[in-house]
Amino acid sequence: MEDLSQEEWTSQLEEDANAVILDVRTDAEVAGGIIPNAIHIDIYKGQLFVDEIEALDKSKNYYVYCRSGNRSGKACAIMMQLGFANAYNLEGGILRWEGDIVDFE
């Protein structure tokens, strides 16, 4: 797991053909908008969160965010315990995000 600043996260993401963006916020938070192309799995789902994470492709590079960076840091730690090679936490979360946000579908 690696904590990345918004600049590092964005530039690394743009260069990464094997990237997946993961939003671990609640449904209510996601209703306010999501980073384009992100998948949403609420970390507060407990075991269901772990089950959904385990179903993901471990060979991909995951760029994880939440509201402020705390839950996404925990999600990255869980992912590393489950055998994911690369999980990158967005420091400051979506609160500091300066890029595009789209309505969640």
Q: Using pLDDT thresholds of 50, 70 and 90, give the confidence band for residue 103.
A: confident
What 8-state DSSP symbol labels residue 54? H
Which of the following CATH numbers is that of domain 2-96: 3.60.140.10, 2.40.160.10, 3.40.250.10, 3.90.1150.150? 3.40.250.10
> How buried is 68 (Cβ within 10 angstroms: 0-12 exposed, 13-18 middle, 19+ buried)?
middle
Q: What is the pLDDT of residues 30-84, one digit of tens each?
A: 999 999 999 999 999 999 999 999 999 999 999 999 999 999 999 999 999 999 9
Residue 89 tokens, joined: 């936490």
Alpha-carbon distance values, 1 to 100, 103, 104 (Å):
24, 28, 26
Q: Which of 21, 66, 87, 90 is catalytic?
A: 66
The domain segmentation of the chain, as residue ranges, is 2-96
Is 76 assigned a catalytic role?
no
pTM attached to this predicted model: 0.95
Q: Which of 15-19, 53-57, 101-105 has the lowest mean pLDDT?
A: 101-105
